[in-house]
A and B are shown apart, each in its own frame.
Chain A
Amino acid sequence: MRHWYMLTLVGEDRPGIVAALSRAIYEGGGNLGEASMMRLGGNFTIMMMVDFSGSRSALASLVAPVAESMGLHCHIDRIEGHLHEHRLPDVRITVFGADRAGIVARVTTALSEAGLNILELESDVAGSEDEPVYIMHIEGHAREGYDSVRAAVEVINEEGIEASIEPVDTMIG
């Protein structure tokens, strides 16, 4: 009986992490599903779905040698997961401005109250040490309609946070 597991691995970035990990999983009989991997603050972070016939501990022992040699912390959960369940975003929001405490909480609280369901959020701190600039990019589903979320974005703007919103019109052809 095969199951989906969610693997989370984090460690200092170095060359070869993805290759070593995916090879170990493949050679141990696991299959990768959807995954998100990126460098955050000098660390390499991995979240990935793995389809595997053995137990959680069997999967853990498969991954452990790679995690150890690459200096990664590893966490594994058995999940109720499915492929082919992508949801289409219908709104995209970008926020940028001088970094300040609480900016994410302020923005996402307002958006949540306006009915936004976040499907993806990516954020960066750019600029310099002295003048950090916060950049956030959100794609989501407006449960209560576009106008509700747009009104929330206008309120955010009045508070001095530069936020913009546009509908995502997916063209299927």
Chain B
Amino acid sequence: MAILDILKVPDPRLKQVSEPVSRFDDELRRFAADLEETMRAGPGGVGIAAPQVGRFQRIVIVDVSSRPNTPNHGLMVLVNPEITAWEGLKVGREGCLSVPDYTGNVIRATRIELTARDLDGNPVEYECVDFEARAVQHEIDHLDGLLFLDRLVSKRNDLFRRKRYK
């Protein structure tokens, strides 16, 4: 097990789109263990994506179980994840292990359904809500080269000043 180095903005590699995983072997499982350890070593980290440590494969880990009163599935290791359905939108605050000392407001779906593979290549399905759904969406964005900075909304205007349409 090892704690891996995290890429930080403005490293251009964070914009790279990651490739699907096709080999489900011991090397993959060793990497996932390191990735999880790296997530837990980060300050307050509840999720991490493989490209954040410079491995451009579609692997994310989310675990929000340490938070009180938060619906969760415990540790989720998601390989080749795909969001298949979503509903509801909510503004929430996000930070990122790759973006130190900055947080911002981002709109995410409040409920998602997703399919993925586990580390042995077996298909898995999850339905996530609220904070866990937010974490999953944030991590899957990394697989497509997106950071929460790409989705910031203004604090000043996100609640009010809605345009009136006649």
Contact = CB atoms under 8 A, between A and B. Distances in A.
B155 A137 contact: yes
Contacts, number: 65
A172 interface: yes
Contacts of B67: 169
In the complex, which range does the number of interface residues on chain A fall in? 10 to 19
A126 interface: yes
A173 B46 contact: yes
Nearest to B138: A173
A172 B95 CA distance: 5
Interface stretch (B25-33, B79-87, B96-104): B96-104
A171 B138 contact: yes
Contact of B94 (A86, A96, A124, A170): A170
Nearest to A133: B160
Nearest to B136: A173
A88 interface: yes
A84 interface: yes
Interface of B: 42-49, 62, 67, 92-97, 100-103, 131, 134-135, 138-139, 155-156, 159-161
17 contacts: A86-B101, A94-B159, A96-B160, A137-B155, A137-B159, A170-B93, A171-B47, A171-B93, A171-B95, A171-B134, A171-B135, A172-B47, A172-B94, A173-B45, A173-B47, A173-B95, A173-B135
